Amino acid sequence: MESSSLGTENPVDKRFRVKRDRMLRAAARCFNLKGYSGTSLKDVADLLGLTDAALYYYVRNKQELVYLCYLRAADVGREAMQRAIREGRDGLDTVQRYLRYHIEYMVGAEGPIAIMSEIPSLKPEHRKQVLELSRKHSAAFEALLERGIADGSIAPCDVRMTGNAIMGSLNWIPKWFHGDPAVAAKIVEEFPRILSAGLAAR
Amino acid sequence: MESSSLGTENPVDKRFRVKRDRMLRAAARCFNLKGYSGTSLKDVADLLGLTDAALYYYVRNKQELVYLCYLRAADVGREAMQRAIREGRDGLDTVQRYLRYHIEYMVGAEGPIAIMSEIPSLKPEHRKQVLELSRKHSAAFEALLERGIADGSIAPCDVRMTGNAIMGSLNWIPKWFHGDPAVAAKIVEEFPRILSAGLAAR
DNA sequence: CAATAATTTTAATGACGATTAAAATAATGC
DNA sequence: GCATTATTTTAATCGTCATTAAAATTATTG
């Protein structure tokens, strides 16, 4: 999940990154549980045993906190996508792997992932960036579908709408999954099949 | 879409209800477009050619505005469900009809429907009520699946997870659909098939 | 251990937007 | 048309957090 070679990193910087990452997961948890406006910085801080003001050592403001949560979400999605592409045998298999990996990350140790409900209230530059990442991810998924149609593993379909349908289902998970490991196992077991059941060429 | 017999209603009350309904749709539009915290009452008022203070003639406060938006959303879903049950021939057919009707309402004249992202910030009593409606709707959908499994039109599956998957996809629509009629037509045409494609018993 | 840097806290401040009250306007019914 | 009721506006007020500055604490390094 890490980018490039950070093996020989300043230990201070490393601690900073680790703590900030913990903070982002705490924030994601609060946002998913209480909504954005219902989450005060104190809520997030409480989860970390800190005071609200301490958060400002890690982020410039609340908007940036959301922004970083969304970057994390995009990272996780991209990672799952790349791994699936690396390992997939054909279009359908790659789609199924992508779904499995992304879901595993979401409900597993990488999580929680913040539901992207507040993109509009990001500052323009951040919003543009997040939307761009989101757009690219959707495009990558649609490309998987097209690959599957081309290689005959997936029945012809409207890839745009099919992508919207499947990604929507995925995006909604953080809205109802709140960390119960038993439920997590069930999601990982069921969702990839359910979401790809309608795709296979007969 | 109306409840019971309001034929002989006080015209003043009727105007009130009509205007408030217009208000709720304007609010839903803002919430979906700008997020809850990003939406000021002035935004909603502007859409109606009113001043923000005028909204308080129709709702007690901003929370109640969201609450009423969610009640509307629940109404629309229930209406689609009841109509599908009334008209459906078997389990699968009823599921497909429900999907079609609900989507038609969402992207059509009944819309926009507010995405339910801020349930947690409702006041406890309202939250409880909305969650209860939402729970009942999910249960009704799962019952459709079970009916289909029983009558052989739907292949056996985990109805809870299948329901979560399909409803999530539905719930996410307001996040990316913003009123373009061409897109609306495409959603209505494609989504019911896509979402039910994996269900049929082979 | 001393000195410096990193992290957190305490204690204000401030802004933004929700909310309210009273006044003004528009609609309705007799 | 007058009186009453319904609706909207204007003009404050008010609270809630987000945010900041300075001080205090904790960690690191030579």
Q: Is the pLDDT of residue A202 over 80?
A: yes
Residue positions counted in chain B: 202
Which backbone phi and psi does B154 adopt, to 5 degrees? -120, 135
CA of A12 to C1' of D30 (A): 17
Angle at which helix A41-48 crosses helix A11-34, to 10 degrees, equals 120
- The alpha carbon torsion through A66, A70, A76, A81 (nearest 10 deg) reads 170
Q: Residue A12: what pLDDT?
A: 76
Give the one of B121, B157, B171 whose C-beta lies nearest to A34's C-beta: B121
B139 close contact with A: CB closer than 8 A:
no
Closest Cα in chain A, distance from residue B79 (Å): 22
Token pair for residue A44?
Answer: 């997030």
- Residue A140 near residue B56 (C-beta atoms within 8 A): no
Q: Is pLDDT of A194 > 90?
A: yes
CB B126 within 8 A of CB B67: yes
Torsion of CA B62, B64, B67, B72, to 10 degrees: -100
- B121 sits within 7 Å of strand C by its CB: no
State mean pLDDT over A27-40.
92
Q: Identify the sign of the CA torsion B156, B74, A183, A25.
A: positive
The pLDDT value given to residue B8: 57
Residue A74 pLDDT: 97
Specify the pLDDT at position A111: 78
CA distance B136 to B130: 10
User: Which residues share a beta bridge with B200?
Assistant: B154
Smallest CA–C1' distance to D27, residue: A12
**Pair B196, B95: CB distance under 8 Å:** yes
- 8 A C-beta contact, residue B43 and residue B34: yes
A62, A41 contact by CB (below 8 A): yes
Contact B118/A35, CB-based, under 8 Å? yes
**What are B138-151's pLDDT values in tens digits?**
999 999 999 999 99
* B40 contact to strand C (CB, 7 A limit): yes
Question: Which residues does chain B have with pLDDT short of 50?
Answer: 2-6
**Inter-chain contact B172–A176, Cβ cutoff 8 Å?**
no
Residue A94, pLDDT score: 98
- Taking CA atoms, A36 is separated from A155, B35, B98, B123, in Å, by 40, 9, 31, 15
Cβ within 8 Å of residue A5, ≥6 positions away:
none
When pLDDT is cut at 50, 70 and 90, the band that residue A8 belongs to is low
Q: Give which of A161, A170, A186, A187 to mutate to test B binding, by max B Cβ within 10 Å.
A: A161
Which chain B residue's Cα is nearest to A173? Answer: B168
User: In this predicted model, what pLDDT tens digit does every residue of B109-167 receive, in sequence order?
Assistant: 887 999 998 998 899 999 999 999 999 999 999 999 999 999 999 999 999 999 999 99
A138 Cβ under 8 Å from any chain B Cβ: no
Chain B residue with CA closest to A175: the answer is: B117
Query: Taking CA atoms, what residue in B is nearest to A192?
Result: B165
A166/B contact by beta carbon, under 8 A: yes
Q: Please tell me the pTM assigned to this model.
A: 0.92
Contacts of B162 in chain A (CB under 8 A): 190, 194
Q: Search chain A and give the residue with CA nearest B192.
A: A165
Q: Please, what is the Cα angle at A128 between A125 and A130, to 5 degrees?
A: 110
Contact (CB<8Å) A117/B199: no
